Structure 1
């Protein structure tokens, strides 16, 4: 056998990739599994998005390679979206780069800026891909604590006291996944100051701003943000387009150029129909968000009852697609969710997969129809 690369020594297969195989096996055996573990929207995109995709099929050149930077109309739509929703002015020529999903962007940004020996601040709890990609590119992940008693916000003063030698990048994600915590204006201002003072690139991963969140914010709105910040965003959650793989990275033109040097060597552009659909999504009226959140509000009411049935506590002010719930002291999260999967045929994500600070928590997804949520509640009651 050929020996695998050393870079895989600290990288495991993604948790949900493994766990969903187990779930599918149980389903194939006739188990009526209800999946509350994954944040994959089950609702349809706006109808205008689907129409735009179909109408593109017969366009001249639709099936050719497309621009590595996306068509100009898509970049314009992204810029207009950021101006309208976040009051952030951007150049469509130099300060935005469409991506095949923001997960791709995590790798591209890391490859563009990190060398072996560089350190990266990773939120604990946080999205596991930040740490995996850091390991893949040969940099060193350094977890920083997010704690419930501090509203899941980083203690930047404590980080500086610990020392920041060789730290080049910091991942943040607000509204936060998995906890649903929301950033304050002060946090974003402090992060920018922190990045400038310590010469650290701050990357805010921002796909949940429009899900059950009254105050969408972009870190790029704040003074001097473009000096040290990038922002990732996605159409996956906001417009129910997870499988379409449409994301974007925004920020300083020099940073965007560096990322394009990586991206242009790794893909050959996004299918034109997907780009046309993305434009229609970004141009949706505010009625889309009201309608979407009306569904999620109803679902969240039931998920809160599920959390109550599991004797959990949770924050009703949290945003996003999940309910982050704290288990009683005596319960181990991973053992508990395996027991629920076995005995109740309900899959729930354990908080431990998001970091050690998640070991007393579970994450419940709102991405299941209301009737399935009610059935899950009935099984647990």
Structure 2
């Protein structure tokens, strides 16, 4: 007997990578040597200090009990110290920081804390699909705002201000930007904050990529007056290669953190203490760690640029973060493009289409791939560069 699912499931689809990776795994199981360049899941190990910290922590009395919904005080203090040291931001560890089981969890918690059915949410186009999915799941309405290459992938606040924003409650922003790699700066953040104050909008900055290939990491909370209207999500997933550990945090004024805690405390029973101890070790790691990781990512990125050149795409060498966002040759369909190279060349990359309509005509490459695998991919395309690109154009334009 089939039980009818909730109506809300009609508003969303299964996450693209959840679905597509099943297909990729099936191809690999059949013997296909797939190189996965689509997913931003760090393949490198966390700092050894982090692994040691969790190994020691599991032996401590009480480690396996339920933990505080707010995280242990030592973790909140480590987050406050990290923000002070790296971003020059002062946070009260008692009531302006809430550890999360990954920042993706925070997107749901914030939305449940602030959105009513029928409220509107501004989401970037292109942007992280989860912003839209969560809004739909809880009965709010997502309203996309354009990010375009000609404007440096930054919001056009003049155009936004001319729209009816009376129902908008939250605006999601993400810099260093995913998928484009565009950087944030203080002047843009000031403009964001002024816009949010003018229209009584909660501005939520999603900030997990600020240390990847970026010499000037920045938090929007460093701007004066930001806490009036801003929450910032951050994560240890990318910076410290801890994606599977599920450690993130949200920071902001005490009243906003209290609102989120009301939701969170009804949805989980606290983070495992050993993971919290590991997170503390990560947050206290020396600056040598960041340079070591970025040296590896620079080398990988240079090789990826070579591969992307072979595919006839263009890209911005000043972009930051864990991905290379590349523009396809005119007339090439992104979804067909990625399927062609998956089936014909055993390489999987992400189509820009999945990040919104402004992602059409682009593809995204992840830096979470070894240099050896990138070289293998280069060799697969080296002898068929012109035929491959021309075939894609011919197929779409029927030349």
Instruction: Tell me the TM-score normalized by structure 1.
Output: 1.00
Residues 145-201 of structure 1: per-residue CA shift (max 9 Å, x gap): 000000000001100112212011000000000000001211100000001000000
Report the Cα offset of residue 214 of structure 1. 1.4
**Paired residues for 1:218-367 under 5 Å:** 218-367=219-368
Q: Indicate the SS of the match to 2:181.
A: coil
Measure how far apart 1:9 and its partner are: 1.2
Q: Secondary structure at the match of 1:162?
A: coil
Query: Residue 121 in 1 paired to residue 103 in 2?
Result: no
Map of 2:152 onto structure 1: 151
Q: Does 1:191 align with 2:231?
A: no
Cα distance, 1:303 vs. partner? Answer: 0.6
Counterpart Cα distance in 1 of 2:379 and 2:274: 42
Query: What's the offset of the Cα at 1:360?
Result: 0.6
SS state at 2:169 partner:
strand
- CA distances 1:340-363 after superposition (whole Å, capped 9, x unpaired): 000000000000000000001000
Shift in Å, 1:78: 0.2
Partner-residue secondary structure (3-state), 1:217: coil
Q: CA RMSD in A?
A: 0.5
4+ residue runs of structure 1 moved beyond 2 angstroms?
A: none
Counterparts of 2:266 and 2:199, CA distance in 1? 31
Cα displacement string for residues 284-310 of structure 1 (whole angstroms, at most 9, x for unaligned residues): 111000000000000000011111011
* Residue of structure 2 equivalent to 1:130: 131
**Alignment partner, residue 385 of structure 2:** none
Q: What is aligned with 2:206?
A: 205
Corresponding position: 1:88 with 2:89: yes
Which whole-Å CA distance do the structure 1 matches of 2:381 and 2:303 have between them?
Answer: 12
| Alpha-carbon separation, structure 2, partners of 1:233 and 1:56 | 24
Partner of 2:19: 18
- Structure 1: runs of 5+ lacking an equivalent: none
In the alignment, what sits opposite 1:178? 179
| Deviation of the 1:8 alpha carbon | 1.2
C-alpha distance in 1 between matches for 2:361 and 2:286: 40
Counterpart of 1:36 in structure 2 is 37
Distance 1:324 1:115 in 2: 35
* 1:76 corresponds to 2:80: no
1:215 aligns with 216
Tell me how far apart the structure 1 counterparts of residues 224 and 198 of structure 2 sit (CA, whole Å).
14
Distance (whole Å) between structure 2 residues aligned to residue 319 and residue 10 of structure 1: 33
Equivalent pairs counted in the alignment come to 381
Residues in 2 aligned to 1:203 and 1:13: alpha-carbon distance in whole angstroms: 24
Output the CA distance in 1 between the equivalents of 2:58 and 2:69.
20
1: CA distance between counterparts of 2:256 and 2:371? 43
Structure 2 SS opposite 1:73: helix
Instruction: Quote the offset at 1:279 in angstroms.
Output: 0.1
1:103 is aligned to: 104
1:380 matched to which residue of 2? Answer: 381
SS in structure 2 of the partner of residue 372 of structure 1:
helix
